[in-house]
Structure 1
Amino acid sequence: MSARPGSPQVRHLGPARLTAGLDRFQRLDLAAHLRVHPPLPRLTRDDLLELAERIDLRGRGGAGFPFARKARAAVAAATRTGAAPVIVVNGSEGEPPSAKDRMLLARAPHLVLDGALLAAAAFGAEEIVVGVAAGSPGEASVPAALDERELPCPARTVCVPERFVSGESSALIRGANGLPVQPAAVKARAAEGGAGGVRRRPTLLSNAETWAQLAVAARLGPGPYAAVGTDAEPGTVLLTVNRPGADPLVVETPFGTPLGDVLDACRLRPGDGVLVGGYHGAWLDPASAVGAPLSRTGLAELGGTLGAGAIVALPAGTCPLGEVARVATWLAGESAGQCGPCRRGLPDAAEALGALAAGTGGQTALEDARRALGGAQGGGACSHPDGTARFVLSALDVFARDVEAHLFGPGCGRPVLDVLPLPPAQGAHLEVDWSRCTGHGLCAVLAPGLVRLGPHGYPASTTIPVAPWQEHGARRAVNQCPALALRMRHPERSTDRRRRRSNG
């Protein structure tokens, strides 16, 4: 299953708030938006902060950080420095199993903009920046929606590469400032100075769903907003439910809804296990998954996390270990390569998992994977190593029987059906020409962590994915190979050349 760039269909359990009107309209332009949603009230700075605190609005991008705390920090920085803040909408959503923010920007962009405009007016913002993934429907939908609005300040969209780390807050801020879209090497609070080019204005950043939830809460008020959900976590949440062989569904449901109810509504079974929270989330065993309450606290009690709200139920016909290994390999290549856990820990873990899934690693591979992931936790420049470790380590626990089958027998005997969604391969690959390779091993010295040698001193793979941060080492290996046995391939560039020739 590959990630799809289109506009997902929606369903709702309970009241339709963020999804209101989407049963009648494919996209809510401003006229349709105003027919579906009542007028947006004007809120002062104190009114908006009080509203966010009373409903305990938290970020819906994965971290779940309190919105009011971020907003107060940005306001305090603006007051201290005299610099007007910047409002940033994070709609980049580089995670393959998640499509909720993409859906909102494509189909209900004005609801997202409502929240951002409320904050911009209340806090006296200098600018609004909306980050979208390049090639996604939001790339056209958001500018069209901005053209329909009267804005309290200038607004612009920033298109970022559709990579996993593009959705990290500091990566988007760097992109808004014209810098490479990758997490900052040193952690810093956006509120203290993020977007705004050289001046680095105080920045209030939240993901698209968070801004939409703020707009809904402003219209309803804190009491009616909390009429659904739980006492600790009022309101609704958007989930992306992935379905094998079909497009994902975006489901709006009150906090606390049992996961089993959502699966039933989407005609899915828990299968061998359910991933909740996406590729930085955690796996739940089938028995726990059915009754798991979809809330941050409820899932935490089961060792899970709501994360970005992406859900995948793994059917019994595919190899769990093989599915996890292919995603771990992809995650290792999606890092920024700025710290030890990303440069060595994640690739080492992915390699060990691949060997274990292939039945060639045994107990040593399992121990190597656990050791690499344990070392990656807590030591990264961003949350990518921690999230990846949670995803893999929870899988090793939930799929313990499958792991044992690969450890002590011929394996589970099931094929890898690519149920866990990944985007089509687009990056560079290093290819080995076996007719030329003589086993010098220099490539492994020039590109450590990229080229791994097998037991006989030859590269262990003929086609090796190259992350952007590995390209320098890959080129060195190609240029200095004594046997001229290596070459770099760029699939997208080859496609462009074929297109130019056909248009010729």
Structure 2
Amino acid sequence: MTLPPVTHLATPRLTAGLDEHGRLDAATHRRVHGPLRPLPTEVLVQLVEDIQLTGRGGAGFPFARKVRAVLESARRQQRPPVVTVNAAESEPLSFKDKVLLARAPHLVLDGAALVADAIGAAEIVVAVADDGVAERSLRAALAERQMPVPTSVFNVPHRIVSGQSGALVNGINGKKHLPPTTDQRTSDAGVKSLPTLLSNAETYAQLAIAARRGPYGYTSLGTVDEPGTVLLTVTGAAVRPAVVECPTGTPLWRVLELCEAPVNAPTLTGGYEGTWIDPESARRATISRAGFAAVGGTLGPGVIAPIGPDTCPLGEVAQVVHFLAAGSSGQCGPCRLGLPDLARTVDLIVAGTASTTLVDAAVDAVRGRGACAHPDATARMSASAMTVFAEDIATHGTRHGCGRPTKGQLLVPPGPADTSTKLSVDWSRCDGHGLCAHVLPELVRLDGNGFPALPQSPVPVWLQGQARRAVRMCPALALRLTTEGHHAA
């Protein structure tokens, strides 16, 4: 996996020194950023409150509240807390945390060390994706320095749900990397059932910058309500995709122009689990949580993905929805039934054979009902697409397409090895018994003539056993399970 280039608008902070150096080792890091002293507990908490530091992984939760909650749990339980750095970066379009760990790893470790020392943590755990992008740099950085407490690196499967906080904690604790089915605050019981402070890599790096600059220096850039800078991954139709650092409040069009991306284009904000904004909103948007919210967008993990006029936008959306449906953990009804159904309805929109009322119904079926945030996020992205691409939907409905190919500008990755199998039908054999739809209702629906309608997406790993059963039970031997074009069952 190749990392995108790094650039900046205004004075660089997190990306300082990266113009001159491929990677900041310990000595170069100290020359660029200067020394760092430990902070007493209340001084650190006051600092993060003064700069209004929030989590940069997507949810934007106030960091000071996390710290205070962990301190209270540790005091009440009389047990030392754990500091966890979430660098799994499971959003497929995001590269900002990978860039930090690969090129400026000491900033992330500085922030984690500051917090661990201030709250009396027993250990630090840094969770990274198992794609190999950042792990080597991180381990090299740990070998170059002394951390205040034992620090370990933990590999996380590179899946869309693996970076969810509950799934991450489950994985570190030796369980399956799946979101928990019951609410459990990590501040009460997280890693090793200890009070756990968990935030993403950029959050800790921002803390390291703030500790050196102080509240006044840190808030000299950005907006009053969201001071400082933010890291963005600009991708999609950008001619020069990059990770960009800019102050909050920067107009989005400036960032897009810097990366030679279309300014007057529909734009996916916040990644696959974010929201679409129309071209007019993209011209008016400013870089901040409030700035995106004002135009119906989402800052999330900082992904900006405009699409160009030469691709079918509905086809792009369908690819993402299928990826999200296949990438769920399959633990609850909205994931097992709702997301595959949503993917099917989007396919019908692309084919021009259905109205958006079907998508609305599929969205309503999953919204607010999942065991984690994944179904809600998928529904939100899909619903926003139906609004932003209303004219394209009308065109597909009257012409059964728009005449443009789907070029894959949203860079949907191929399915993992365990989800590369697909269902297909030998139409020379199928005579519409309909048994497959009863055995495998999560994936198979019957069309108006009673014949099976199959999804284009791979069969999720949690449904493959049931899919093989459906194949075996087909009375006409028409149903097939194939892997990369080869017969599998």
TM-score strictly above 0.5: yes
| 2:357 corresponds to 1:367 | yes
Q: For residue 466 of structure 1, give the secondary structure of its aligned residue in structure 2.
A: coil
Q: What is residue 144 of structure 2 aligned with on the other side?
A: 148
Shift of 1:492: 13
**Which residue of 18, 26, 30 maps to 1:30?**
26
Q: Which moved more, 1:248-257 or 1:480-489?
A: 480-489
Q: Which amino acid aligns with 2:178?
A: Q
How many Å separate the matches in 2 of 1:237 and 1:492? 43
Shift of 1:464: 5.0
Q: Which amino acid aligns with 1:405?
A: T
**Which residue of 114, 134, 138 maps to 1:118?**
114
Aligned residues of 2:312 and 2:402 also touching (Cα < 8 A)? yes
TM-score under structure 1 length normalisation: 0.91
Q: Which moved more, 1:222-231 or 1:159-168?
A: 159-168
Q: What is residue 430 of structure 1 aligned with on the other side?
A: 422
Shift of 1:487: 5.2
| 2:257 corresponds to 1:264 | yes
Q: Which moved more, 1:50-59 or 1:459-468?
A: 459-468
Aligned residues of 2:94 and 2:301 also touching (Cα < 8 A)? yes
Distance 1:477 1:246, change over 3 A: farther
* Correspondence 1:60-99 to 2 at 5 A: 60-99=56-95
Aligned residues of 1:430 and 1:474 also touching (Cα < 8 A)? no
How many Å separate the matches in 2 of 1:105 and 1:461? 41
Shift of 1:246: 5.9
Shift of 1:437: 4.7
Shift of 1:269: 1.5
Aligned residues of 1:84 and 1:124 also touching (Cα < 8 A)? yes
Shift of 1:471: 2.5
Aligned residues of 1:432 and 1:462 also touching (Cα < 8 A)? no
Aligned residues of 1:294 and 1:306 also touching (Cα < 8 A)? yes
How many Å separate the matches in 2 of 1:492 and 1:228? 53
* Correspondence 1:139-218 to 2 at 5 A: 139-196=135-192, 200-218=193-211
Shift of 1:490: 5.4
Aligned residues of 1:28 and 1:109 also touching (Cα < 8 A)? yes
Aligned residues of 1:429 and 1:463 also touching (Cα < 8 A)? no
* Correspondence 1:76-475 to 2 at 5 A: 76-196=72-192, 200-244=193-237, 248-361=241-354, 363=355, 366-426=356-416, 427-432=419-424, 434=426, 437=430, 439-461=432-454, 465-475=458-468
Shift of 1:87: 0.7
Q: For residue 128 of structure 1, give the secondary structure of its aligned residue in structure 2.
A: strand
Shift of 1:390: 1.8
Aligned residues of 1:277 and 1:308 also touching (Cα < 8 A)? yes
Q: What is residue 16 of structure 1 aligned with on the other side?
A: 12
How many Å separate the matches in 2 of 1:459 and 1:474? 14
How many Å separate the matches in 2 of 1:486 and 1:492? 14
Aligned residues of 1:428 and 1:488 also touching (Cα < 8 A)? no
Q: Which amino acid aligns with 1:288?
A: S
Shift of 1:433: 5.4
Distance 1:370 1:264, change over 3 A: same
How many Å separate the matches in 2 of 1:256 and 1:64? 16
Contiguous gaps of at least 5 residues in structure 2 = none
Contiguous gaps of at least 5 residues in structure 1 = 495-504
Shift of 1:486: 4.7
Q: Which moved more, 1:137-146 or 1:239-248?
A: 239-248
Shift of 1:307: 0.7
Q: Which amino acid aligns with 2:424?
A: V
Q: Which amino acid aligns with 1:407?
A: G
Q: Could you give the per-residue CA deviations for residues 261-315 of structure 1, whole angstroms, max 9, x where no partner exists? A: 1011111113431111111211111122112111111221222221111001111
Q: Could you give the per-residue CA deviations for residues 331-389 of structure 1, whole angstroms, max 9, x where no partner exists? A: 1111112222222222211101101101233x2xx211111112322222111122112
Q: Which amino acid aligns with 1:442?
A: L
Q: For residue 272 of structure 2, give the secondary structure of its aligned residue in structure 1.
A: helix
Distance 1:20 1:203, change over 3 A: same
Q: For residue 444 of structure 2, give the secondary structure of its aligned residue in structure 1.
A: coil
Shift of 1:479: 4.1
